[in-house]
Each structure stands twice: as structure tokens, then as C-alpha cells.
Amino acid sequence: MVIDGHNDLVLKRWQGEEPEHVRLEDAAAAGFAGGFFALHVPSPHPDAGEHDLWSQPFADPIPFAEAAPVADELYDVLGSLPVRRAAAAADFEDGVVTAVVHLEGAEAIAPDLSNLERWYERGLRSLGLVWSRPNAFAEGVPFRFPSSPDTGPGLTGAGRALVRACNRLGVLVDLSHLNEAGFWDVAAVSDAPLVATHSNAHAICAASRNLTDRQLRAIRDSGGVVGVNFAVTFLREDGRFLPDETTVEDIVRHVDHLVDVMGIDHVAFGSDFDGAGLPTELDGLRGLPPLVEALRSRYDDDAVAKITHGNWLRVFAATWR
């Protein structure tokens, strides 16, 4: 069974596009039991494309009044998919695709948090404070290579209040896309395991979106998890978009590094399916079984089970009320 830390199938469907990676008819054969289904309000400026990722400007903020109705539309798209929604770790099982309702960027949350509990009632169980742009709560990292993740200020007062409210409700707080100052602010405020749903090792690929070893150790010490991102530009040492020259072994190399720094109990998958350019050989959900087999050449069955699903289930159980 594979539980995955991030996919953008909902955004693809909202944009009227067919998915490239998350073809749900492939789920059973791939052992895909679901995971985090992102509700992401996209920035209005044109996407420069994966090959120009590092030349994209920092995205402009999106006001709550503009983001909220789009997030509602995305939520409706998720509701139209043949998946069930997770409220407890026990909801995940073989042969059923289960979705964690995840806001990627908190723009759809009112700055005074007045609609947060309503979102929780709708099934929200994971929230990323930011995508790679500023908002009322924090500042994301612009896409830069090479670059430290230390690119701007930390959480606002509203951001700290949002973290505390998520802790109280039992909503997982996602650190992916958050800059380093914001990361350390969350670490100081939160009483839940620290989680980065789709991030990689900065020591291997010096992209602003990846996590330093110091950040990885903090996640380990909190009992948290990092989901390894399959995006080519966050895997490669040179940061280049070369999908035909990037392989499953590049993913395994990041897994190995995270295991070396954090231990086997803190590493999982966070594919970024349908949200990024992936190695050509991966081919979406169909590439999961070969990836799992590649891990079996390095790790025993218990370790592989932790990476593929067990570590996510542990964090769900520790975080959700």
C-alpha cells in the first residue's frame, strides 16, 4: 500500500485537463491508497514551464476574497472524484483511494481565522501555510537554484495564530514551500509533529524548496515526516529539467539521505504528481511498483512499509483529533 504526500489532480481537473500522473484507473494495480489531494489556488501569471522554473518571478499575493471562491470550486472538484475522505488513519486501506483534504497555501482561510472551523467540518485535515508566494500568514520560498531556503521573514501574528488553531483542531501543518524563517517559527509554536509533505534534501539539490540537514533533524526530533518529492528539478544536483536523464535511482538517493539524517521512521513519499515534471520512466502511478522494488534492494520489508505508508499513518494518528 502506498500513501502519497502530494498530488495536484484536483487542480488539473479544475483547469479542464486530463491528469498526466494520477490516473485513478491505475490505482489498484499500483497499490495507490491515496494521500494528500491538494486544493491549490493557482497564481494568475502564466506558468513559465518546468524548464524555466528558476527564472520565474516571486508570485504575487492572492487576496482572501479572490482565493476563497476558487478554493470552494476546487473542493467541489474533489467531491466529484471517486475517492473517500480521510478523517482518521484507519480510513486508509488496500484497494480504496482515500483523500486527505489539503489546502496548499492558506489564502482561502480568512486572516481572522473565522472560516477555519468550517473548513475543518468540510474535511480539512492538512494545511500548507503557503505556496511559493507571500500571504497573510507567512512567506513562501521563490523558486531559486542554487539558493538557501532562508529567503525572507517568518510567520506573521496571524500565521502563529493559525498554527495554534490547527494544533487545537487536529489539522496537520505542512512546511513545504515555507521559507526557513517561517519553518523555525512553526517549530517554536507547534506542538504537533513537523511535516513537509513534498520536499527533498538540500544537501543533494541546493534548491530553495529543499530542506537543510538542520531542518531535517528538527523534523526528526518532533516525530515528523518528510515526503520525498519526485520533481526532476528538486532531485538533480544540477537543478536542471532533464526528465529523460533523471531516474528512480535519483529519488532513492534522496530517500537514502533522509534516512541517514532522520532515521527510517521519518521518511515517506510526496510525489507532486500532476504538479511537476517527473522522471520520464516513472510514468505516474504506474511507476510506483518499480520505485518500491528499488527500495527493496536497500531496505527490509518493515522499512519499506514505513516509507510507503506506515510513517504517514503514524503522523496522522498523532496529529488528527
Q: Kindly report whether the global pTM for this prediction surpasses the value 0.75.
A: yes
CA 314 to chain centre: 17
State the Cα–Cα distance between residues 172 and 311, nearest whole angstrom: 14
Question: How many structural domains is the chain composed of?
Answer: 1
b/e sequence 97-109, b meaning 16+ C-beta within 10 Å: bbbbbbbbbbbbb
Q: pLDDT (tens digit, 0 to 9) for every residue of the chain, 321 residues total?
A: 999 999 999 999 999 999 999 999 999 999 999 999 999 999 986 454 555 788 778 889 999 999 999 999 999 999 999 999 999 999 999 999 999 999 999 999 999 999 999 999 999 999 999 999 999 999 999 999 999 999 999 999 999 999 999 999 999 999 999 999 999 999 999 999 999 999 999 999 999 999 999 999 999 999 999 999 999 999 999 999 999 999 999 999 999 999 999 999 999 999 999 999 999 999 999 999 999 999 999 999 999 999 999 999 999 999 998
CA 171 to chain centre: 14
CA distances from 163 to 86, 167, 278, 279 (A): 21, 6, 31, 34
**What confidence tens digit (pLDDT) does each residue in 87-119 have?**
999 999 999 999 999 999 999 999 999 999 999
Q: Kindly report the CATH number assigned to the domain that includes residue 229.
A: 3.20.20.140
Residue 180, all three cell numbers: 526557513
Residue 270 and residue 288 in contact, taking contact as beta carbons nearer than 8 Å: no
**What confidence tens digit (pLDDT) does each residue in 213-264 have?**
999 999 999 999 999 999 999 999 999 999 999 999 999 999 999 999 999 9
R_g of the chain computed on alpha carbons: 18
**Which segments within the chain are labelled E, that is strand?**
2-7, 32-39, 84-85, 98-104, 124-128, 172-174, 195-196, 225-228, 267-269
- Domain span at residue 288? 2-319
State the Cα–Cα distance between residues 90 and 310, nearest whole angstrom: 11
